[in-house]
């Protein structure tokens, strides 16, 4: 509420100032945009700030505090030192890294195949892939396939299944089609094989697309809950999102939390779940924006 009131006060103070500077430049619509932007920022920042402060407060509870009342990192220490919390976190890291790499390999190779215009059946294959985006088998047939492949209750099911993403493959194909054909022809004249062209020319020119699609893969793997719920019944193979849900709805507090406030531990777990991508995204933002624009818009 403090940040919300500050945002409203700042926005109200900007109105006469902007009108005074330049009535033509600062229209009413622009002022409303500033107010809405500040309000949206407040709605986003206030909950995050509360979770962050409570994760470092040994006396965390209800109410909003600007700073921790009793500073303590016991919540994070429990997550790192307790097996029941550390193992799900490591599983999330493992599946995210392996799944993202596998998803990028499948998407880039598949997209490279689809831009081979001389390949027989290329259009049929592309249309077949697009068909799967509209008509899917459904939850039960997919589950029966996973059972028959003996992938249930293994980490392979949560790595392989999301790695096959036709949407990301299509984005990558659109990006590859934007690469000048003269580069492919020059590589062919120089004696470069199709795979050599892919490694030496296509991939180095696709950093933006790789970063954006890789980020989408990583977020989907890190936040995966449905696949674990459907295909994994062994609690020892659950990821951090499943453990986070158990903390809030099943009161599954780790044994090593003696002396630790339950709310502190819960908020620390939330911060651990969201911090990795809050740290990574600023470094990939320019590639992400460029990659999405180029891959999604075809001239």
Q: CB of 283 within 8 A of CB of 212?
A: no
Find the mean pLDDT for residues 276-286. Answer: 79
What local confidence, expressed as pLDDT, does residue 3 receive?
A: 47
User: Which pLDDT band holds residue 203 (cuts at 50, 70, 90)?
Assistant: confident
User: Which pLDDT band holds residue 41 (cuts at 50, 70, 90)?
Assistant: confident
> How many CB atoms within 10 Å of residue 180?
9
Phi/psi at 5 (nearest 5 deg)? -65, -40
Chain segment 73-118, per-residue pLDDT in tens: 888 888 888 888 889 999 999 999 999 999 999 999 988 988 887 7
What local confidence, expressed as pLDDT, does residue 116 receive?
A: 84
What local confidence, expressed as pLDDT, does residue 47 receive?
A: 85
- Give the residue with greater pLDDT, 188 vs 261: 188
Chain segment 24-34, per-residue pLDDT in tens: 555 677 777 88
What local confidence, expressed as pLDDT, does residue 4 receive?
A: 46
Helix/strand/coil for 13:
helix
What local confidence, expressed as pLDDT, does residue 26 receive?
A: 57
Distances (CA, A) of 113 to 53, 64, 162, 177, 184: 50, 54, 20, 11, 14
Find the mean pLDDT for residues 240-266. Answer: 72
Determine what percent of the chain is predicted with pLDDT higher than 70: 82
| Res. 281: pLDDT tops 90 | no
Q: CB of 152 within 8 A of CB of 146?
A: yes
Closest CA to 171 of 297, 285, 287: 297
Find the mean pLDDT for residues 142-160. Answer: 91
What local confidence, expressed as pLDDT, does residue 30 receive?
A: 74
| Res. 167: pLDDT tops 60 | yes
CA within 13 Å, CB half, 156: 7
What local confidence, expressed as pLDDT, does residue 256 receive?
A: 47
User: Which pLDDT band holds residue 260 (cuts at 50, 70, 90)?
Assistant: low
Tell me 200's DSSP state.
I
Q: Which range has highest mean pLDDT (5-9, 70-74, 283-287)? A: 70-74
- Give the residue with greater pLDDT, 22 vs 266: 266
What local confidence, expressed as pLDDT, does residue 105 receive?
A: 93
- As a whole number of angstroms, the distance between CA 25 and CA 217 comes to 42
What local confidence, expressed as pLDDT, does residue 218 receive?
A: 92
């Amino acid at each position: 509420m403090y940040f919300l009131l500050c945002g409203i006060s700042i926005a109200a103070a900007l109105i006469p100032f902007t009108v005074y500077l330049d009535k033509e430049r600062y229209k009413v619509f622009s002022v409303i945009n500033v107010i809405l932007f500040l309000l949206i920022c407040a709605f986003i920042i206030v909950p995050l700030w509360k979770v962050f402060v409570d994760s470092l407060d040994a006396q965390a509870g209800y109410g909003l505090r600007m700073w921790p009342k009793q500073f303590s990192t016991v919540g994070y220490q429990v997550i790192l030192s307790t097996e029941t919390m550390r193992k799900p976190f490591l599983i999330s890291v493992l599946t995210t890294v392996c799944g993202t790499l596998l998803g990028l390999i499948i998407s880039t190779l598949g997209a490279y195949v689809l831009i081979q215009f001389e390949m027989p059946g290329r259009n049929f294959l592309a249309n077949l892939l697009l068909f799967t985006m509209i008509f899917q088998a459904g939850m039960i047939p997919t589950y029966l396939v996973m059972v028959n492949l003996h992938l249930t209750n293994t980490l392979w099911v949560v790595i392989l299944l999301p790695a096959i993403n036709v949407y990301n493959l299509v984005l990558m194909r659109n990006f590859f089609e934007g690469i000048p054909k003269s580069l492919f022809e020059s590589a062919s004249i120089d004696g470069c094989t199709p795979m050599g062209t892919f490694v030496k020319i296509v991939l180095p020119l696709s950093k933006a697309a790789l970063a954006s699609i890789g980020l989408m893969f990583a977020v989907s793997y890190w936040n995966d809950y449905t696949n674990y719920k459907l295909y994994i019944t062994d609690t020892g193979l659950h990821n951090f999102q499943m453990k986070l849900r158990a903390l809030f709805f099943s009161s599954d507090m780790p044994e090593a939390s003696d002396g630790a406030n339950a709310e502190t531990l819960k908020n620390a777990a939330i911060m651990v779940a969201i911090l990795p991508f809050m740290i990574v995204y600023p470094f990939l933002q320019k590639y992400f924006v460029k990659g999405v624009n180029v891959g999604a818009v075809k001239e």
